[in-house]
Structure 1
Amino acid sequence: MLFNSGMATSSSSTVWPVVHHERRALLQDLEPLPAAQWQTPSLCAGWNVHDVLAHVIDSAKTTRLSFIRRLIAARMDFDRDNAVGVQREKTPEPAQTLNGLRAVLSRTSGPPASLATRLVEAFVHGEDIRRPLGIRREYPPVHVATALKYQLRTTTKMGGGKEIAHGWRLIATDTAFDHGDGPAVEGPAIALLLAVSGRPVRDDELSGPGAPVFLQQLGIQ
């Protein structure tokens, strides 16, 4: 297996400034959003963009201890725990939910998992919201690659994309990243990250000999 990347590290001094920057950028993008658009279905199945924002806030407020307590209360069901968290942080008025995001802009708490998961959350959920709304953002490819590396080592049961990427060589076109063996699939790091995270991508975002079948596997073609 190949795994070559000139990516940044996932140390706290590297990760948290990026996460905080992404939270501020998301806030700025959503502040002018018309009320009707908050009900737009997100890339995250079953959630609209308001739901995803509530999840982002809930995740930012989660601590290691509260995560364990909540998971026990949810009978070890991650989906149930996430649903409870969304209902807790989602307010009747989106403007109030945005106030919740403002309150967590600089938090450095999280569940008991690799810090790279904070990057995954920031980038993937950022696109869960932005893409359906037609909002474009340029993410820092080197940090997206760090999130991508984590997803490729994590099983789909744990929210990763190890199985999705198996049998393919994924090559980022905007940063030094080359992973796997098999037909090559090339594209921006953010498109690769979304794909292995189970999100749809545009068929023109990925290229290379393996792209048509890989996209078909994802249900894009």
Structure 2
Amino acid sequence: MPSGPTSSRPTAAVVWRIVHNERQSLISDLESLTPEQWAQPSLCPGWDIHDVVAHLVDTAKTTRLAFVRQMVAAKFSFDGANARGIIRERAASPEATLAEFRRIRQATKTPPAALATRLVEAIVHGEDIRRPLGLVHRYPRESTEEALIYQLKTGISMGGGKERADGFRLQASDSGFEHGSGPAVLGSALALLMAVSGRPVDRRDFSGEGAAAFVQKLNQ
């Protein structure tokens, strides 16, 4: 079970404040991108930077009822619903998509899921964009841990990463967070979050007796 300093869930007000701050920070980073950078592949397979921003616009607008309707239209395929959302919100130019993201940055709409998913969206997709562009951003540690906890208790089929962590004891090197049992894998909370979320992993981000096996499992 997860352990460490994160002993209580943040309130909705705290989560939304962090999400809004992260949206604004990402907008600031996006404002200086060149057309070539907008077209660069993100860490999401098949999505470029523009696609990820369109996805963030779509999820920021999605209500619980709209989510159900979108899933029905996509025959209950998460990937299909996401693809439709990108088509719906990707404007003719990156500037127009960014303008819409800026317009809805304070929205508090959410699909029918735990509020922690909003932290996962903000942090993981923020890195999906920033890492390929060589941009570095510091996320609140408690929020990163909260997103990590959610991903570790959620199956891959639901967008989480529970199965990726099975058989290892994950330890955040920048806090007291721990999860699971087995050979130890140490890494920052952000590195662990990105890894269990299915993003490319770098062996240099992890240490401990289970690090090599953990990275090998994720790269299979």
Shared fold (TM-score, shorter chain, > 0.5): yes
Tell me the TM-score normalized by structure 1: 0.96
The answer for the alignment partner of 1:181 in structure 2 is 181
**Aligned position for 1:3:** 2
Secondary structure in 1 matching 2:43: coil
Compute the displacement of 1:219 (Å): 1.4
5+ long unaligned stretches in structure 1: none
Contact preservation (8 Å) 1:142, 1:175: no
Distance, in Å, in 1 between the alignment partners of 2:67 and 2:136 is 32
Q: Does 1:134 align with 2:130?
A: no
1:73-92 equivalent positions in 2, closer than 5 A: 73-92=73-92
Deviation track 1:147-166 (CA, whole Å, cap 9, x = no partner) reads: 00000000000011110000
C-alpha contact 1:42 1:128 (8 A) present in aligned 2: yes
**d(CA) in 2 for partners of 1:107, 1:185:** 37
- After TM superposition, the structure 1 stretch with the greater mean CA deviation from structure 2, 5-14 or 34-43, is 5-14
Identity %: 53
Asked if 2 retains the 8 angstrom alpha-carbon contact of 1:10 and 1:115, the reply is no
1:5 offset after TM fit, Å?
2.5
2:48 aligns to what? 48
The Cα offsets for residues 62-86 of structure 1, whole Å up to 9 and x where unpaired, read as 0001111111111111111110100
Tell me the residue number matched to 1:171. 171
Match of 1:145 in 2: 145
Tell me the amino acid that sits aligned with residue 131 of structure 1. R
Between the aligned partners of 1:95 and 1:28, the Cα distance in structure 2 is: 13
What's the counterpart of residue 123 of structure 2?
A: 123
Aligned equivalents of 1:175 and 1:100: distance in 2? 36
- RMSD over aligned CA atoms reads 1.1
Residue 184 of structure 2 corresponds to residue 216 of structure 1 = no
TM-score, normalised with respect to structure 2: 0.97
The amino acid of 1:198's aligned partner reads: G
Task: Show structure 2 runs of 5+ residues with no match.
Answer: none
How far off is 1:173 after superposition? 1.1
Matched ranges for 1:7-18 at <5 A? 7=6, 9-18=9-18
CA distance in 2, matches of 1:6, 1:127: 24
SS at match of 2:33: coil
The size of the alignment, in residue pairs, is 219
